[in-house]
Homo-oligomer: A and B are copies of this chain.
Amino acid sequence: MRKLMGKRSKNLICCGLVAAAMISPFERAGGQQPQAPPAWPLELVTNMEKVRDAALGSDYAWRQVAQLTENIGPRLSGSPQAEQAVNYVAGEMQRLGLEVKLEKFMVPHWVRGEEHGELTIFPGEARGTTQKIVVTALGNSAATPSEGLTAEVVVVTSFDELAALGREKIGGRIVLFNKQFDKRMAAQGKADAAYEGAVVYRVRGAQAAKALGAVAALVRSVGGADYRLPHTGAAMAAGIPAAAVTAEDADLLTDLTRQGRVVMHLVLTPQTMPDAVSYNVIADLKGSEHPEQVVIVSGHLDSWDLGTGAIDDGVGVAMAMQTANLFQQLGLRPKRTLRIIAWMDEENGQRGAKTYAEEHKSELVNHVGAIESDGGADHPVGFNGSLKPATVDLFKTVATVLEAIGANLLEDGGDAGADIEPMGNAGVPVFGIIQDGRTYYNYHHTAADTLDKVHPSELAENAAVMAVLAYALANMPQPLPH
């Protein structure tokens, strides 16, 4: 997933026509512009173009996603598949000639169990009839008794409504938070904002309901599709069962509770196991001039357990692996160290991100930049992150190189990935790729996050963006200021 509650500023700097005017800033050094961008060596720009073209012509990233999703499968932290994925990525990076380390820490180990729901009393109910409710447990949900629990359903659309009902009307009940994901916003290209408008109920709903005595919490799935598909995701542990229902089931519950009393039987038997050992995979291609200076390319290796973690985030890991592959294949040893990181536990606690930021604290001053992709692999339109006025001109040349694939939009700020946020907070310049996210939340955290959702040519475009930006950061004449 993307950050739970990230803020998204919208300071778009560069797009089509502006970028077109910038095609060869280095050729115009000393020209008329009062603030001409710093000159980039021609060789560096030529190499960025080579990296871009090699990425577009390669299926390496695709083969990595296929391996992670079809030959390994869902990779929830603590699972055997997560362990297998760590070993696979480490082995593949060694094969490419990188220096590989596994950095160890403990991760949550939550395991899904049985899950089903049905209405036993509802307006229209007759002898022997029920209505099935499609549910899936949220990460960190407590279990119901093995035979399930049965309680009346109360539907609210906000925390304010919940508070207004109070303990008397919430106590002993199952609460459904029926906040809709705004599909119109998503269709307009503001999918992250649509997500952020609803996901707070997935994250905090169970705790809020528990505080008023609820026996379980349900949330309307946070996503845009209408195929009766529940969307899981992390919830703050509340000590009560917490599950997502599909949009259709949320509508059904809403309609029926408006008509009369609705009683639901809910079975969820997840288990919270002792924390397990796991790892970030860290693979370095040492810099030729400044090996102590580091540029990170990354995605997260863990995934939710319903699908096979293709768009979230097998593709991000594959783009990072492809960056290493391209540099090696083209013989482009970077001046600074290129560090590939396959993060563990982005989905259920960000233990990998926290551990890295803590254990590498003293080295962060030499982290020149960090890139993570965690928004799928639909067509990229540019990149975002640390693009302040003082340094943005540097990136216009990079945008120009990416204009050939329509990825020349620059955005100051925005969501650059949950795993690199801690080092961003410590001053490291952080970057994300801006993808066409209109359908991302149709599949995100569902069983349908599978390999077929990745379009090979668009994945290659995304790998080109990550690799070109990384090449620029690793070879630019001066490192970016913190």
The interface of chain A, by Cβ under 8 A from chain B, is 66-67, 70-74, 80-81, 84, 122-132, 134, 225-229, 247-248, 251-252, 255-256, 259, 307-308, 442-443, 446-448, 450-453
A447 near B228: Cβ-Cβ < 8 Å: yes
- Whether A129 touches B84, Cβ cut-off 8 Å, given contacts A66-B255, A70-B256, A124-B71, is yes
Determine the chain B residues whose CB is within 8 A of the CB of A71 once the complex forms: 122-125, 256, 259
Q: For A123, A255, A448, which residue has the most chain B Cβ atoms within 10 angstroms?
A: A448
| CB-defined contacts of A228 to chain B, threshold 8 Å | 229, 307, 446-448, 450
* Contacts known (A66-B255, A228-B446); A452 close to B248, Cβ less than 8 A: yes
> Which of B72, B248, B307, B447 is in CB contact (< 8 Å) with A450?
B248
List 7 A-B pairs, minimum CB-CB distance, nearest first.
Answer: A71-B124, A80-B128, A227-B227, A228-B448, A228-B447, A248-B450, A84-B126
Cβ–Cβ contact A450 & B252, under 8 A: yes
A80 to B450, CA, bound (A): 37
The residue in chain B whose Cβ has the minimal distance to the Cβ of A71 is B124
Q: Which of B132, B251, B448 sits near A248, CB closer than 8 Å?
A: B448
Is A448's CB under 8 angstroms from B226's CB? yes
Q: A252 to chain B: which residues have CB within 8 Å?
A: 70, 450-451
Q: Which residues of B contact A74 (CB under 8 A)?
A: 132
Complex CA gap A442/B226 in Å reads 11
Question: A72 — which chain B residues lie within 8 A by C-beta?
Answer: 124, 126, 129
Q: Which residues of B contact A81 (CB under 8 A)?
A: 129
Given contacts A73-B132, A251-B450, 7 further A-B contacts (CB under 8 A): A70-B124, A70-B131, A70-B252, A226-B453, A228-B307, A229-B448, A248-B448
Residue ID in chain B nearest A252 by CB atoms: B70
Q: Which residues from chain B contact A451 at a C-beta distance below 8 Å?
A: 248, 251-252
- List residues of chain B with CB within 8 A of the CB of A126: 72, 80, 84
B-side contacts of A443, CB under 8 Å: 227
State the Cβ distance, A231 to closest chain B Cβ, in Å.
Answer: 11
Given the complex of chains A and B, what is the CA–CA distance between A449 and B446 in angstroms? 18
Q: List 12 A-B contacts (CB under 8 A).
A: A66-B255, A70-B255, A71-B256, A72-B126, A73-B129, A73-B132, A134-B447, A227-B227, A227-B448, A228-B307, A228-B446, A228-B448
